[in-house]
Amino acid sequence: MSLWGGRFLDESNKLFKKFNASLSFDYILAQEDIFASIAWSYALFETGVLTKKEQEKIELGLTFLKQEIYKNPEQILKSDCEDIHSWIEINLIKKIGEIGKKLHTGRSRNDQIATDLKLWCKNNIQVLLESLLNLQKQFILSAELHLDIIIPGYTHLQRAQPITFSYWCLAYVEMFKRDFERLKDTLKRLDISPLGSGALSGTAWNIDREKLALSLGFSSATNNALDSVSDRDYIIELLASASISMMHLSRFSEDLIFFNSSEANFIELSDSITSGSSLMPQKKNPDSLELIRGKCSRVYSSLFSILVLLKALPLSYNKDMQEDKESLFDAIKTWNNSLLMAGLVLKNIKLNRVLCYQAAEKGYSNATEVADYLVKKGVAFREAHYISGKIVLQAINENKALKDLDLSQFQKYNNLIENDIYDHITLEACIKKRVSKGGVSLHQVQEAIKKEKIRLNIA
């Protein structure tokens, strides 16, 4: 049974019917559709379309359906209905009889699906916000746990200046904080109800759409029905937020994959989130991180898909828009699962303190300190930079760290260098000097952790 058969003499071709149907994926909107349908029944009662008794009977029938679906959501998939709206309406009529046929008065599947999708997005944004907060908390806990572990900082994948693992964690807190704020901002524009827009020009019934919007948990109702049924900007914005956040997760994964490599060996990942090789018994592969990195492209493709889908669609609703759902559902699930996995990876990470320190030391990440030392002695920075480079070259040729050079070797390049140079070029001294806001010094890191713990309500 379909909801639109009166105009047609012939039955739908079986292949077309299957090609046209969306129930196989939009069935997950069942709870949202029922919620919105109950609200719509109240609006119809207030308009006089339904009596109080009819409204109560419809609400009771929908509530029973909701309970049945909650127990077994996949029962819906056994039906040959076109979409979730058809399934609910048909099964409501089976439960309560002819009264069920009144529910769709003044409503179109166009404003119905727009409402369901917005409700689904709102519900899932709350889940994502919680996941983003939890991941930030895990970074803060890890930062607090590894305050004094020095690692190399990199530019161009070359060792640059020493930092701490805590400082690295705080960098990702900033990224995921922006993701959180971006998602909250997306919610503001999404929080407007399209229900009551009808097919494209509004409803002929005197529905109080603002009251209806509030009853659904929206902040207000949309202003233009033509736009309301064809608007999918909120999906684009949500998927854009997902894509940016997945990019952050991918960078996080790439960092840890490198840190975990045999060449770096800075960290060890937990057995619980790694796997082995079917051939090589020695392997311990960072599959969880590689999958996060790979799934980033999957979320990107969802964003590109909806952008291409909408780019040339005329107003208002077109059946093309049925293709907005599968990629949205998949992308949001993928994003949330990746956030959860990233937290699990970070929670069980182990750091190799000695190798981290040695890598920072051997990478001449303290070379800038030699230049700064000379500047304090009155040498112009550009000249000091040149001298420091020559000293590094000598250390490289002798396969030594800067601290292992003799004082005479330093003074060969500038006789202003004295024995106190060794105090200035320790990794600890390098870090201690970075006292400006956002710097790597222990004080700045501890202050940042303190502020973030207050923001995230970590005891």
Query: Catalytic amino acids?
Result: 156, 277
- Tokens for 187? 């919610």
Class of residue 222 by CB neighbours under 10 A (exposed 0-12, middle 13-18, buried 19+): buried
CA distances from 59 to 39, 53, 56, 99 (A): 9, 10, 5, 11
If we measure between CA atoms, which residue out of 444, 442, 428 comes closest to residue 369?
Answer: 428
What backbone torsions phi and psi does residue 270 show, to the nearest 5 degrees?
A: -65, 145
> SS3 helix, strand, coil % of the chain, rounded to 5?
65, 5, 30
Q: In sequence order, which residues have a C-beta less than 8 Å from that of residue 426 and are 6 or more positions away?
A: 366, 403
Angle between helices 109-145 and 233-260 (to 10 degrees): 30
Q: Length of the chain in residues, anyone?
A: 459
324 close to 330: Cβ distance less than 8 angstroms = no
Amino acid identity at 420: D
Q: How many CB atoms lie within 10 A of CB 418?
A: 12
Class of residue 192 by CB neighbours under 10 A (exposed 0-12, middle 13-18, buried 19+): middle
Token pair 């039906």: residue: 79
